[in-house]
Amino acid sequence: MSDLTTTPRRPRRHDPGRRDRLIDAALTVIAERGVAGTTHREIARVADVPLGSMTYHFASLDEVLAEAFTRHAESVARVFDERLGAAQDRDAAVEAVITLVSDDLLGSRHDLILTVELYVAAARKPALKAVTQAWMRRSRQALERHFDVTTARELDALIEGLVLHSALSTEPMTPEQIRHAVDRYLR
């Protein structure tokens, strides 16, 4: 009879926040490498977890992307809610919109890249288009606190256009030019 020695099993590590860390890691990878460069392996590496954690927590890479972009969209929508919720009247709401674009939406290169990556990926992936639709709906609801439905929709498109223009331009609009564009439309 052979003398087999068994190595004791390592206890399972209790890690209730792992799924959230994987989503955060996915956002980091997307911002650094784009959607095209985002892989299960790279997300697991950034989250410092075994690769198998990806398939344990998510059915596919598309599911990870949808969860990550939903988290990003919700964080931006919260800023819309806070800024416009604090505005006491239409003039304050106009100022809130200008601040949203100049400071919040264009203030973080990381968030700006995530937004552009979401727009591009949503053009091809229906699940991500659903994320953008939910985001636009929530943004318009925040805008509708101070503007009629038609104006809120058009203003939301103007905001997205200003963000994309600034993200893609070699000469992005200055805060003064953004103010002028928003003032011209709303006042």
Question: In whole angstroms, what is the distance from residue 183 CA to residue 187 CA?
Answer: 5
Quickly tell me which residue has 């003032």 as its tokens.
183
More confident residue, 61 or 11: 61
pLDDT at residue number 4: 55
Residue 114: C-alpha distances to residues 75, 121, 125 (Å):
12, 10, 16
Question: Each residue of 20-65: pLDDT tens digit?
Answer: 999 999 999 999 999 999 999 999 999 999 999 999 999 999 999 9
Q: What pTM does this model have?
A: 0.88
Residue 15 binned pLDDT confidence (cut-offs 50, 70, 90): confident
pLDDT at residue number 79: 96
